[in-house]
């Protein structure tokens, strides 16, 4: 029979457990001030964008934590199964890695209401024919072990090749590289990866809805899950969730296959020759080198000997007047061209009204770099005349094409201009810049938990 000291310990332990059970999980978290989140890295979960951490679920969880007056702390796991295991052992308070439970209820944890609905879709390496379960039953389908894809296909007449310790995003990359030929993923993931993995081709779909959900530990009460459900309902009703879906899945900027293929090819065979020059120019001017490289790609496809019919030359396609202004003696010298372009960009930035900051400053500076400050000012004046906001790029870019029409340019100081060109110019650079940020972070193993000083530099000096 246990002695009195042992009985006292057991009694106190039971009291403590009972006390913990009586305190809702949300209140316990608020006492600590932190929400621990298990996730995986990817375009839909948590990654580094141009300005820092980004992702559909990153933005949602940041706002959810803010609503609870908590600070989110993200931990990156190699797979979704590893994230869920961390949840089960109590190391994390929730798992949110674009997780798709095979059934609405999962043993061992609470499951939130659906966040995103999508559907299963096959994908294959470019050049292979689309997967057909009827005619290709022995063709290996590579999938992450233990995920929804394995459960969907395990009773179908197909040949499965589950990969342990591999995330869904990693499998998609392997297929894009041609190391595996077929996989089953979701339409949402394919849309999110369309620009990042140019050799990954969507195939046929399965008629079964899939719901992305958040998971919470079941050994506590359900108060955190209940607050999450209420928060997600509010996000749906306000339309914010639809906006996030458009931003990260449905309305991503798209380019044709040749543009994507050529860009990634040039990242491999041309960019390495000039990478250090872009970084040196970035260090000297304070401009993100990836932005400078994006401008260089838009201008010349990183061709140091590029020459246009109008006389602009070099990687940054500088005019003779610009080269003289920036004291560049040889526009075909890549080092001189890149630093000259960076300095000229700063000079253009300094001409933009100081009240314009952030991304607006960047887009206006790029447009000015392309069309000239005078024509940009004309477009801003025209925007103001038409009751638009001359300090907002989205308003001004709608008026820039009007500079080619006589009825408009005859009323402006600087005359006619091909105003549609800077609009396309800015959009293309935004696109190439985002791809270079993704490539750079992948190459250096950065994720959304990387300390700010390791990755974040201003696109332009403010």
Instruction: Please indicate, yes or no, whether the overall pTM of this predicted structure exceeds 0.85.
Output: yes
From the candidate CATH numbers 3.30.2350.10, 2.60.120.10, 3.40.190.10, 3.40.50.300, the one assigned to the domain spanning 24-110+213-250: 3.40.190.10
Those residues with Cβ within 8 angstroms of residue 145's Cβ, 6 or more apart along the chain or in another chain: 81, 162, 163, 164, 165, 166
From the candidate CATH numbers 3.40.190.10, 3.90.110.10, 2.60.40.1220, 3.40.50.300, the one assigned to the domain spanning 120-208: 3.40.190.10
Catalytic residue of the set 50, 169, 299, 349: 299
Domain ranges of the chain: 24-110+213-250, 120-208, 259-455
What does the pLDDT read at residue 54? 95
Q: How confident is the model over 84-117, as pLDDT tens digits?
A: 999 999 999 999 999 999 765 556 789 999 999 9
449, two tokens? 């938990």
d(CA 59, CA 256): 29
Q: Which residues pair with 118 in a beta bridge?
A: 210
d(CA 281, CA 340): 9
Q: Could you tell me which of 237, 218, 216, 219 has the C-alpha nearest to residue 227?
A: 216
Are 24-110+213-250 and 259-455 the same fold in CATH? no
Q: Are 206 and 152 in contact (CB under 8 A)?
A: yes
Residue 299: active-site member: yes
What does the pLDDT read at residue 6? 54
Q: How confident is the model over 64-78, as pLDDT tens digits?
A: 999 999 999 999 999
Point out the residues of the chain with pLDDT beneath 70: 1-21, 103-107, 452-462
d(CA 46, CA 65): 15
What does the pLDDT read at residue 255? 87
Q: What is the CATH number of domain 259-455?
A: 1.10.530.10
d(CA 117, CA 386): 40
List C-alpha distances in Å: 128 to 125, 177, 372, 376.
6, 13, 47, 47
To 10 degrees, what angle do helices 373-385 and 358-371 make?
120
């Amino acid at each position: 029979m246990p002695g009195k000291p042992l009985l006292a310990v057991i009694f106190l332990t039971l009291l403590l457990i009972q006390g913990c059970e009586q305190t809702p999980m949300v209140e316990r978290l608020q006492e600590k001030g932190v929400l621990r989140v298990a996730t995986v890295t990817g375009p839909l979960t948590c990654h580094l964008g141009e300005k820092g951490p980004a992702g559909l679920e990153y933005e949602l969880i940041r706002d959810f934590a803010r609503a609870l007056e908590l600070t989110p702390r993200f931990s990156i796991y190699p797979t979704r199964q590893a994230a869920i295991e961390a949840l089960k052992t109590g190391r994390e308070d929730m798992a949110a890695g674009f997780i798709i439970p095979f059934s609405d209820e999962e043993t061992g944890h609470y499951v939130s209401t659906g966040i995103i609905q999508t559907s299963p879709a096959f994908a294959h390496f470019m050049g292979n024919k689309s997967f057909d379960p009827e005619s290709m039953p022995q063709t290996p389908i590579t999938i992450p072990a233990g995920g929804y894809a394995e459960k969907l296909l395990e009773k179908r007449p197909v040949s499965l090749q589950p990969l342990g310790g591999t995330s869904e995003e990693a499998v998609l990359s392997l297929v894009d590289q041609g190391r595996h030929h077929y996989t089953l993923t979701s339409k949402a993931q394919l849309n999110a990866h369309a620009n990042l993995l140019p050799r990954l081709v969507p195939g046929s779909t399965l008629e079964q809805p899939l719901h992305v959900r958040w998971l919470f530990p079941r050994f506590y009460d359900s108060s955190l899950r209940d607050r999450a459900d209420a928060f997600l309902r509010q996000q749906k009703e306000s339309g914010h969730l639809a906006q996030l879906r458009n931003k990260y899945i449905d309305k991503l900027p798209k380019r044709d296959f040749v543009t994507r293929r050529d860009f990634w090819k040039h990242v491999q065979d041309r960019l390495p020759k000039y990478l250090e020059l872009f970084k040196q120019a970035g260090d000297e001017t304070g401009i993100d080198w990836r932005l400078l490289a994006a401008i260089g790609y838009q201008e010349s496809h990183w061709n140091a000997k590029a020459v246009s019919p109008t006389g602009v030359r070099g990687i940054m396609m500088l005019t003779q007047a610009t080269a003289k202004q920036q004291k560049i003696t040889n526009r075909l010298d890549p080092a001189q061209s890149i630093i000259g372009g960076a300095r000229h960009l700063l000079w253009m930035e300094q001409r933009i009204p100081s009240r314009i900051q952030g991304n607006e400053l960047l887009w206006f500076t790029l447009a000015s770099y392309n069309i000239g400050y005078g024509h940009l000012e004309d477009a801003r004046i025209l925007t103001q005349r038409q009751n638009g906001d001359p300090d907002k790029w989205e308003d001004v870019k709608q008026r820039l094409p009007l500079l080619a029409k006589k009825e408009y340019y005859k009323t402006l100081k600087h005359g006619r201009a091909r105003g549609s060109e800077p609009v396309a110019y800015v959009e293309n650079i935004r696109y190439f810049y985002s791809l270079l940020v993704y490539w750079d972070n992948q190459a250096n193993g950065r994720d959304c938990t990387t300390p700010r000083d390791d990755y974040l530099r201003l696109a332009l000096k403010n």
